[in-house]
Amino acid sequence: MRKLSMLLVLAVVAISCQKDNLSDEPTQSMRKSSSACDVVSPQSVADAGAISRPGGNADCNGADYDYSSDRVNRNSDNTWDASFPDGFSVIYDESSKQLTWSYTSQMVDGVLMCLDGIQVIAKGGSGAQVYSYGSDVHCGEEVSAPGTADISNLTLCYNLKTCSQTTSDTCYEGESAWGEGTRYVNRGNWATYSAYPTGGGSVTLYAGQTHDAGTITFSAVSNGEVTIDITLNSGFVFDGDVHIQGYNSTPPSRNPAPGQFDHKFAQLTGMVVDEAMYYGIHVNVNREVPCED
């Protein structure tokens, strides 16, 4: 089984243009709501075609999938001991003992790749159960381990395919995206910074000031650090860079320079930064737009 190693490359689309919307205030709200995630019934390891392993673990070597995350263990502080493959976001809710996963289409060698079926193996206690999803599913929720056990590790088994094209070409427009919050300056650049939600929580990621591009999730503070995960909505593609700056007082009232932020990441999940009162979070994305004649 191959383990996916994705190199994010800039999609060069002949008919797309690159611009940031830097106007003062939008004249009309253009927010886009995210689609609901799929909920499927769990299967036993045997019924799903997975392979049982000692201690109630399982892997996907017995099923017809080209890619695997391999086993990723959940730590006692609700972090993961390894990164999931590029494009995947995994968030576990300790109170409900349920997990939500999502996949954002990725550019691989200049080609936009989508999921083509996935199995999620959730291990907990002395056993595991498997959640199987069909082609074109991009997220799932209410994933749990057997019985009332916490999820102790997770394995993703999946295939990829070239994203389906509509009857017309798919076109993209480059956008700057910022976490929901307060503007650095009142006029000019609309860039915003987000207050850290005490105990962890989420804020909206806006592209071009008005487009609901996804969700930024902050973990609780652990050992003086916070883990940040970003999930993009359908119609948005990650363009390779996340810049994060933490502040322990009100950020300065001047246009920010994301390239000079303390942290730069090439993935959307598992971004660990020092705890802070506020965060400036800048993401480069491509937004799907109607193609011009």
Run of H or E including 27: none
Q: Which CATH number is 91's domain given? A: 2.60.40
198 and 224 both lie in a single domain: yes
In 3D space, the residue among 98, 234, 97, 71 whose CA is nearest the CA of residue 157 turns out to be: 71
d(CA 3, CA 158): 10
C-alpha torsion sign, points 279, 231, 227, 95: positive
* Residue where a domain stops, chosen among 162, 185, 203: 162
* Residue where a domain stops, chosen among 162, 194, 224: 162
Scanning the chain, the segments in alpha helix (DSSP H) are 45-48
Residue 222 has, within 13 A of its CA and on its CB side, a CA count of 14
d(CA 9, CA 240): 7
d(CA 5, CA 161): 15
Residue 60 lies in a domain: yes
**Residue ranges in the chain modelled with pLDDT below 50:** 1-35, 166-168
Cβ neighbours for 76, distance < 8 A, ≥ 6 positions apart: none
176 and 285 both lie in a single domain: yes
Residue 163, amino acid: C
Number of domains in the chain: 2
d(CA 55, CA 46): 15
222 and 155 both lie in a single domain: no
185 and 129 both lie in a single domain: no
Residue 108 lies in a domain: yes
The confidence score (pLDDT) of residue 114 equals: 86
